[in-house]
Amino acid sequence: MGDMIMDKLKKNKFIENYIENLQRITLKSFEDTSDKDRYDALCDSIMELINEEWRDCKRKTRNQRKAYYFSAEFLIGRSLGNNLINLGIYDEVKELLSEIGIDFEAIENYEDDAALGNGGLGRLAACFMDSAATQGLNLVGYGVRYREGIFKQKIEEGFQVEHGDSWIKDGDGWSIRVDSDAKIVRFRDQQVKAVPFDMPVVGFENGVVNTLRLWQSEPFEEFDFAKFNNYEYDEAVSEKNRAEDITRVLYPNDMQRAGKVLRLKQQYFFCSASIQDMVEKYKNDYPEDLKFENFSKYHVIQLNDTHPIIAIPELIRVLVDENGIFFEDALAITRKVFAFTNHTVLQEALERWDKDIMLEVNPRCLEIIEKINDILVDEFKAKGYSDDQIDPYRIDRFEQIHMANLAIYVGFSVNGVAALHTEILKDDTFNHWYKLRPEMFNNKTNGITPRRWLVYSNRELSSFITGKLGTEDWKYQLDLLKGLEKYADDEKVLEELWNIKQTKKNELARYILEKEGIKIDPKSIFDIQIKRIHEYKRQHLNILHIIYLYHKLKKNPDMEFTPTTFIFGGKAAPGYFRAKGMIKLANEVARVVNADPDVNKKLKVIFVENYRVTYAEKLFPAADISEQISTAGKEASGTGNMKFMLNGALTLGTLDGANIEIFEHAGEENNYRFGATVEELNEIMDTYNPVEFYSKDPDIKDVVDSLVSGEFKDNESYMFLDIYNELIKPQEGQRGDTYFLLKDFKAYAKAHEKVNREYKNKMEWSRKCLINIANAGFFSSDRTILDYANDIWKIDQNR
């Protein structure tokens, strides 16, 4: 492809057409148009470029086998720059626009993030869509078009304050509303219309355009005139609101399940619409083969965590109730369709729904689930299992529906998202299932798309790589990066690489000055921790360590120390008090340290406001150190760790999630590993006493005490006392320091000392960066998605 699009650009139709669009939508003369107008018109023009190929792809793949990615979240970010990169016309369009006096950056910045996800799980879904299109795989994404994405975070007096994120209030230039494909979704107490909005997913310079279909909930009838005429104004409006409520807002809980009827309604809403869509298309597009026994020949559904598992009873319902299939046959068909991905071992995130909530949402689905549970119990009994032995497998247990058990019992594949995580699933979380059906379990280590996370966000490094490898093919065959290793001892090349990092650090420093109002030294070590705020991710370990450094420097200002800037970013779930306390603590330590003239030339702390995909695109390229410090065994994979690595930051991390694989690929000697292993923690689990660490080590005692000494002020929120108590004054019957901060503290400090020393040796440092980049190939989501396609989905690449 590319050629066709490039032709259109060259014939200068593009600019002509762009100006036409601009005038058509604004009725203004060119000079009077705003950045918003110019952005809107540019979306239109690019969508026109994409359209023809999109239609072609739909036609070509119409009756081919496809995989369907069911996900409650797609954390897309902005689309303009990414689409231009993937179309292969970023520089050309920028140039053409500048010729007519348009500042491309200004209109690029006009775009809001499509932030329809919480964190890693949602961003993974977006990377997978990009990679599938790039690798020519038939993958359709199905999800929810939330009118409000994840909240916008403001920091006020150091506290997180949540604000709405109505990202589509001025329209959304990247989707097409397809009214003709609308579906009816029926709940026990209401029925609504599900309207699909299709977003094109452009493959990298290959002519493929796949589809991400997001459903929006609308009233079945736009407005009840009968009620309105009857003077029942409120009621007429409230029906409409009740329907729109279903897709009004993304739940901002990134771990604890929100035990809400509305949340389950959202899940059922998009799963029902998607299943109906698939079945309807099957009937239309595969007439020569239309027997439902063949449904699984053409469809495989990947369930992104527990949230879309309700699609299982929904498919059975549609087959049985709407297509006259016998229940047993429908179940047999369904068994060949679903595969399940787990993203966490934290118990609180494995969804279990109270049966009365399920009943309220869709009684028929509950009935189907109960029937499946009966079949399960009969099957186990026939095999001679006792009631106690059957217990862990039950889908219906203590008046709750265990979604993971449903997916594993009916599905044909279960996967974890990093090697260690999959082992933990097999040995622990789902050990009962593993003993029974080991062949179902497989690992798919996560990945990230190099297009957004390098080609687009780090143009300098991208050109460097192309120059050194003499090809651009690495952009879709990331293993080719290995070819960089031959420069490991080439000082000129290492210097070049160092300078690129410096350029990106300068850019970030300017951006931080503009956005956060704080000046940072671009020559200092940029040590960055960006991710959701959670105890298991241990941002508070990082903060306690900064306090330790601060006290050391205070006592001894002339101490040998490479200046370091510690940067944090991330959102806390609005109801998660302790995580919010961690944000307050980071901000308070930043306030005190940054204002202290004794240390602030050497030590700076920044908490960036409203961390999101767009901010991430500036942070990853500028990092020297990637903080990946979760308690071993708790982070399923992590994907930020991979974005840092690809951009030449060194990992300071525990043996957890995909860190382990990063160390394996890039070499431990080129990174900074520290802390207890899962095995070590398992061993001390029952005997660990944090107070011992506290009383025996004066440094630990000093930093922990500083939480309550008054040195750092929490504005009487008692947030710091809460963190202090969790560490060493646990409640009756609890152990304290659940996430082993004090156990790992000294090892963490030591690893930091090593970083601080080694950064001084510029060439050695740059060499480590190069080796990390050269070995990042494995962490491309192209590799991950091809593994899904080959091992689970059995779909071929269209070339």
Q: Is 637 in the site for ligand F58 (CB under 6 A)?
A: yes
> Could you tell me the two tokens for 22?
């601009």
CB of 91 to ligand F58, least distance (A): 32
Token readout for 109 is: 């910045």
Q: How far is CA 75 from the centre of its chain?
A: 6
Residue 635 per-residue DSSP state? -
Find the radius of gyration of the CA atoms of the chain.
27
CA 333, 335, 339, 343 torsion-angle sign: positive
Give the Cα separation of 278 and 276 in Å (integer).
5
Dihedral sign of CA atoms 751, 757, 759, 764 in order? negative
Among 113-121, 128-136, 433-441, 565-573, the segment contacting ligand F58 (CB under 6 A): 113-121
- Least distance CB 34 / ligand F58 (angstroms): 36
Options 33, 82, 344, 422; binder of ligand F58; rule CB under 6 A: 344
Q: How far is the CB of 342 from ligand F58 (least distance, A)?
A: 9
Rounded to whole angstroms, how far apart are CA atoms 506 and 504?
5
Residue (126 or 512) nearer to ligand F58, CB: 126
For residue 605, give Cα distances in angstroms to 587, 640, 758: 8, 20, 21
- Residue 370 burial (CB count, 10 A): 16
Report which DSSP code applies to 605.
Answer: E
Identify the CA nearest to 213 among candidates 280, 283, 129.
Answer: 129
- Shortest spacing between CB 416 and ligand F58, in angstroms: 9
Q: Select the span of 62-70, 94-102, 215-223, 342-350 touching ligand F58 (CB under 6 A).
A: 342-350
Q: Which of 66, 123, 307, 537 is catalytic?
A: 537
Among all chains, which residue has been given the structure tokens 């997916």?
407
Q: How many CA atoms lie within 13 A of 628 on its CB side?
A: 35
CB of 310 to ligand F58, least distance (A): 14
Asked if 347 and 431 touch (Cβ cutoff 8 Å), the reply is: no
Q: Who's near 657: CB < 8 A, 6+ residues apart? A: 418, 420, 421, 628, 630, 635, 636, 637, 638, 641
Cβ at position 630, least distance to ligand F58 in Å: 8
735 catalytic, yes or no? Answer: no
Residue nearest to ligand F58 (CB): 120
Closer residue to ligand F58 in complex, CB, 206/781: 781
Query: Which of these ranges, 636-644, 686-694, 769-777, 779-787, lies near ligand F58 under the rule CB under 6 A?
Result: 636-644
Contact between residue 717 and residue 159 where contact means Cβ atoms under 8 Å apart? yes
| List 66, 145, 147, 531, catalytic entry | 531
Nearest one of 614, 652, 660 to 633, comparing CA atoms: 660
State which residue, 349 or 547, has the beta carbon closest to ligand F58. 349
Minimum distance from CB of 75 to ligand F58 (Å)? 9
Residues 38, 198: Cα–Cα separation, whole Å: 23
Distance CA 566, CA 546 (A): 8
Q: Which of residues 425-484 bind ligand F58 (CB under 6 A)?
A: 446
- Strand, helix or coil for residue 424: helix
What string of DSSP letters covers 13-58?
HHHHHHHHHHHHHH-S-GGG--HHHHHHHHHHHHHHHHHHHHHHHH
When binding is defined by CB under 6 A, the residue of 349, 369, 642, 769 that contacts ligand F58 is 349
Number of residues engaging ligand F58 in binding (CB under 6 A): 19
Q: If binding is defined by CB under 6 A, does position 633 make contact with ligand F58?
A: no
Q: Return the number of the residue (465 or 658) whose C-beta is nearest ligand F58.
A: 658
Please name the residue ranges forming H helices in 458-576: 459-469, 491-516, 539-555
768 counts as catalytic:
no
**Stretch of 207-215, 372-380, 635-643, 778-786 contacting ligand F58, by CB under 6 A:** 635-643
Residue 216 CA to residue 218 CA, distance in Å, equals: 6
Q: 343 vs 540, which CB is nearer to ligand F58?
A: 343
Q: Helix 13-26 and helix 90-99: axis angle, to 10°?
A: 70
504 catalytic per annotation: no
Indicate which single residue of 120, 203, 207, 411 sits in contact with ligand F58 (rule: CB under 6 A).
120
Choice between 158 and 657, CB closer to ligand F58: 657
Query: Is 198 or 305 the residue whose CB approaches ligand F58 more closely?
Result: 305
Q: In angstroms, give the least distance from the CB of 437 to ligand F58.
A: 22
Query: Which one of 119-127, 160-168, 552-560, 787-795 is the stretch in contact with ligand F58 (CB under 6 A)?
Result: 119-127
Task: Reply yes or no on whether 701 is catalytic.
Answer: no
Residue closer to ligand F58 (CB basis): 207 or 416:
416
Active site residue 343: yes
> For residue 133, what is the enclosing H or E element?
helix 120-134
Closest CA to 274 of 409, 182, 406, 166: 182
Asked if 773 touches ligand F58 (CB under 6 A), the answer is no
Per-residue contact flags (x/-) with ligand F58 for residues 249 to 288, judged by CB under 6 A: ----xxx---------------------------------
| Catalytic position from the list 145, 152, 343, 468 | 343
Instruction: Give the three-state DSSP class for 232.
Output: coil
Shortest distance, CB of residue 274 to ligand F58, whole angstroms? 18
Tell me which of 102, 126, 417, 549 binds ligand F58, using CB under 6 A: 417
Task: Say if residues 448 and 454 touch (Cβ distance below 8 Å).
Answer: no
User: Minimum distance between the CB of residue 628 and ligand F58, rounded to whole angstroms?
Assistant: 10
- Draw the binding track, 642-671, toward ligand F58 (x: CB under 6 A; -: no contact): ---------------x--------------
Q: Which of 643, 752, 768, 783 is catalytic?
A: 643
Check if the beta carbon of residue 394 is closer than 8 Å to that of residue 376.
yes
Q: 36 to 95, contacts with ligand F58 by CB under 6 A?
A: none
Q: Which of 66, 299, 343, 402 binds ligand F58 (CB under 6 A)?
A: 343
State yes or no: is 299 an active-site residue: no
Alpha-carbon distance of 553 to 114, in angstroms, equals 43
Q: In terms of CB distance, is 83 or 529 closer to ligand F58?
A: 529
Contact indicator for 294, 330 with CB cutoff of 8 Å: no
Residue 698: CB atoms within 10 Å: 8
Give the binding range for ligand F58 (CB under 6 A) out of 146-154, 247-255, 402-410, 732-740: 247-255
Catalytic residue, chosen from 532, 538, 618, 665, is 532
In angstroms, give the least distance from the CB of 636 to ligand F58: 4
Shortest CB 33 distance to ligand F58, Å: 39
Q: Which of 45, 71, 118, 458 binds ligand F58 (CB under 6 A)?
A: 118
Nearest to 121 by CA among 559, 636, 567, 579: 636
Supply the residues annotated as catalytic: 343, 531-532, 537, 639, 643
Binding site for ligand F58 (CB under 6 A): 118-121, 124, 253-255, 343-344, 349, 417, 446, 635-639, 657
